[in-house]
Structure formats: C-alpha cells, structure tokens
C-alpha cells in the first residue's frame, strides 16, 4: 500500500512536469521511491491519434472516457507503489467553456493523503501559454481560472472524502488502514528559488512545523537595506521550517508598474518574465487590478490557515519607526483569531503597541533569537515536539 498519495492540480501553463521531477529527484537522493503519474501524458499515450496540444479540443464525451481509462490504470498502479504523485487538473477553461477534469468516484478510490493546488504568477502563466498552447486568453481569464482551480481542488478533496466514506469496498486494498482526513494545500510554484523542497517536506517531513512568513512588501521596495534584512529572514526560516511565503507569488508589482506606466501615458509596457521580455497592455492590467488585490487578500489568509503558526518580521524604518504595514497587521490579527501561534521579530527601537504585544505568543529582537528559542523550547533540529 502507498505510504503517501498526493494529487497535484493546477491550471494549464504551469509546466508542472519539470517541477515535479525535481521533487522526485530529492526523494531519490534521500532514499525514497516516488512515482509520478502525469494524467495528460498517459491520455496522449493511450490515444496516439491525437495531435500534441490538441487533446482539449476533443468532444467532452471522448475526453471523459479517455481520462477514466487512464485513471483506472493509475488506481491499479497505486496498489503496488510506495509513494505516488498524480499530476492532473481539477478544471479546464477551454473552447468548451468551463468543465471538470476529474471524476469523484475514481478519485475517491485513491484515498489521497493530500490535495495540492499549484499556482503561479499570471504573467508567467501568460508567457508559457504563448509558447506551449494555441488558445486565446486574457489576464482576466487566467486569474479567474486560477481561482476556479483552487476552489475546485478543495471541493475535490471534500467531495472525495465524503464519497469514500460511503463506498469503501472491503475488498479494495487501498482502503486498508487508510485515514479519512486528507489535507488541502495551496502552494505557489515560486521564483528564485522555486518551492520543490516545500512540496518534498510536506510529503516526507510532516514533523517539521508549517509557518507563514509575514513581512512588509510594497512600501519597502525602494529600501535595499531593509529588503536585504527581509531576504535573510526568509532564507533562514526556510532552512528550519516548511514555509508558506507570500512573495512566492507576487503580482502586486505588475500592478504597480502598470499604474506608473498609465500615469506616464504609456499604452504598452515591457516586463521581464521567465527570462524574456514580454509586452503587456497597460489598460488590461489596470482592468484586473481588483482581481489581483482581491486574490492577494484571500490567498494570504488561506496560507495562514494551512500553517501551524505565523512568524512576522517587523523592520526598523528610517527614524526608528516600526515597518508595520496594514497588510502585516491584518495577517497577525487573522492568525490570532484563527488560534495560530503568533511570533514576531521586532527590530524597531519603539515599543510594540498593545495590539501587537497582547496578540503575540512571543516577541524577539532578532531572527537568530527566534531560531534559538524554537530549537530550545519548541523545536529540536526543526522537528516538532509536543507543545
């Protein structure tokens, strides 16, 4: 029976294959067997008459029949595979409109331990779609599809958990000793570095605590010294924890650049995306500003909810004031109300207000002090102890 079964979803344009292969390589380097099943590749292999890149143009009835045949083979493979990742989709937004990319009855039989929706910046998705797929799309389409994929993946997890409780066949070996409490995670693909190690740790290092990193972003972009402090904070915490870092998906800068271009009367702006220069319509970016901001707000709260705790870095701004942005304040309050452990690295000379000190589990003067505390009191070698 598999030790760990994971379903990975995400919209078209993520290029999940190389990302997941890096996770498999990490597993091999640590002496673990990990099999990756790419549903799309298997569908092409089963139907060699389909032109590469055109499978979604098939009639929905044939597409579903082909998918069910492939997933039946994956279920058989799962019975004899130690660790398994299934790379698939929850939805498709294509020429047929919006339609599902899975069947509840088959996914329920898998009894997956985790459902993870992989996401990426909208400009990166746009860049890959330009090269890899022949379909017209707007930035609005990509933002909506990403949100739909996230919701559908969580609904897949909830629906399949409920379904498996009703249809457990006693003769099906996949149900022997299986638990009925899978987890859903939202995970950004990340940029420099990417987040393959986060996925690996979620799978194979569950004893490591999951933490959301909180720090000011938009109003310190022109402060290189503070940015360097924050980068060091992020790097250090990533060495010790499973981190959910909001800067792994950063679309606010796209909006900021578009706003600046708009104020200068520019119709088109150039953006560096995945190593190349792409041209974006300024008006199109401004039209989706509300979507970008709304998704940042909702996504960061989701990341806090899926973490065990939040660790916030509050730098000292020029003049000695704390760099406590409204976004960081709201994140700290949300974490407190969600009964998460709230830790703060407070660098300012000014005393924190009661709204900070009374909601924090503990306040540190440096990242090093925080790490020493975690190792001594809560975590030993990054492994969770009884709290």
pLDDT for 168: 52
Q: Residue 126: which of 295, 274, 293 has the closest Cα?
A: 274
Which position has the higher pLDDT, 54 or 257?
257
* Interior angle at CA 318, CA 315 and CA 319, nearest 5: 110
Segment 79-132, tens digit of pLDDT? 999 999 999 999 998 877 899 999 999 999 999 999 999 999 999 999 999 988
Share of the chain above pLDDT 70, in %: 92
Mean pLDDT, range 241-258, rounded to an integer: 95
Radius of gyration of the chain, Cα coordinates, nearest whole angstrom: 22
Alpha helices in 79-119 (DSSP H): 104-110
Task: Report yes or no: 122 and 16 within 8 Å, Cβ to Cβ.
Answer: no
Distance in angstroms (rounded) separating the CA atoms of residues 231 and 223? 12
Start and end residues for every CATH 3.40.50.300 domain found in the chain: 4-203
Q: Which fold has domain 208-380?
A: Rossmann fold (3.40.50)
Decide: 32 and 204 in contact? Cβ < 8 Å.
Answer: yes
Q: Which residue has the higher pLDDT, 96 or 378?
A: 96
Sign of the alpha-carbon torsion through 29, 30, 32, 36? negative
Question: Do 101 and 89 form a contact (C-beta atoms < 8 A)?
Answer: yes
**Residue extent(s) of CATH 3.40.50.450 domains in the chain:** 208-380
User: Which of 285, 278, 124 shows the shortest CA–CA distance to 191?
Assistant: 124
Q: Facing residues of 248 across strands? A: none
8 Å CB contact between 318 and 334 = no
> Considering Cα of 275, then 281, then 282, then 285, what sign does the dihedral take?
negative
Distance CA 366, CA 233 (A): 9
pLDDT of residue 184: 97
Q: Mean of the pLDDT values across residues 39-57?
A: 93
Q: Span 4-203: which CATH code?
A: 3.40.50.300
Residues 256-294 pLDDT 10s: 999 999 999 999 999 999 999 999 999 999 999 999 999
Q: Which helix (H) or strand (E) holds 379?
A: strand 379-380
- Sign of the torsion formed by the C-alpha atoms of 182, 183, 188 and 192: negative
d(CA 7, CA 157): 9
**Is the sign of the CA dihedral 125, 131, 133, 137 positive or negative?**
positive
Side-chain half-sphere exposure of 100, counting CA atoms within 13 A: 12
Listed in sequence order, the DSSP H helices in the chain are 16-29, 39-46, 60-78, 104-110, 122-132, 139-167, 196-204, 224-240, 252-263, 282-287, 289-305, 326-337, 354-357, 367-373
pLDDT in tens, 140-197: 999 999 999 999 999 999 998 876 555 454 444 443 444 447 899 999 998 878 999 9
User: Cα–Cα distance between 133 and 131 in angstroms, integer?
Assistant: 6
> Nearest to residue 42, comparing CAs of 79, 17, 19?
17
Are the C-beta atoms of residues 104 and 159 closer than 8 Å to each other?
A: yes
């Amino acid at each position: 029976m598999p030790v760990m079964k994971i379903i990975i979803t995400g919209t078209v344009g993520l290029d999940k294959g190389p990302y997941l292969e890096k996770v498999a390589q990490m597993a091999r380097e640590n002496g673990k067997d990990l099999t990756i099943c790419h549903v799309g590749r298997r569908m092409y292999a089963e139907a060699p008459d389909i032109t590469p890149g055109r499978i979604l143009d098939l009639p929905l009835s044939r597409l579903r029949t082909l998918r069910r045949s492939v997933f039946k083979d994956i279920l058989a493979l799962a019975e004899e595979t130690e660790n398994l990742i299934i790379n698939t989709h929850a939805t498709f937004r294509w020429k047929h409109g919006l339609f599902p990319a899975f069947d509840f009855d088959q996914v329920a039989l898998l009894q997956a331990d985790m459902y993870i929706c992989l996401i990426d910046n909208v400009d990166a998705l746009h860049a890959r779609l330009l090269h890899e797929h022949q379909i017209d799309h707007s930035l609005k389409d990509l933002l909506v599809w990403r949100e739909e994929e996230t919701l559908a993946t969580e609904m897949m997890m909830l629906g399949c958990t409920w379904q498996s409780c009703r249809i457990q066949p006693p003769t099906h070996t996949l149900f022997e000793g299986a638990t009925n409490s899978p987890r859903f995670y939202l995970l950004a693909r990340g940029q420099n570095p990417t987040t393959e190690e986060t996925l690996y740790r979620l799978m194979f290092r569950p004893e490591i605590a999951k933490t959301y990193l909180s720090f000011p972003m938009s109003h310190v972009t022109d402060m290189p010294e503070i940015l360097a402090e924050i980068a060091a904070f992020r790097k250090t915490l990533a060495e010790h924890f499973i981190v959910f870092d909001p800067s792994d998906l950063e679309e606010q800068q796209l909006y900021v650049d578009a706003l600046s271009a708009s104020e200068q009367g520019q119709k088109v702006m150039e953006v560096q995306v995945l190593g190349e220069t792409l041209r974006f319509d300024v008006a199109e970016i401004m039209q989706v500003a509300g979507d970008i901001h709304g998704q940042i707000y909702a996504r960061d709260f989701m990341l806090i909810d899926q973490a065990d705790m939040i660790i916030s870095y509050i730098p000292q701004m020029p003049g000695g004031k704390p760099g406590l942005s409204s976004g960081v304040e709201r994140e700290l309050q949300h974490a407190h109300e969600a009964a998460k452990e709230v830790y703060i690295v407070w660098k300012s000379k000014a005393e924190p207000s009661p709204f900070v000190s009374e909601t924090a589990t503990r306040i540190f003067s440096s990242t090093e002090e925080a790490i020493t505390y975690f190792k001594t009191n809560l975590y030993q070698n990054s492994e969770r102890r009884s709290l």
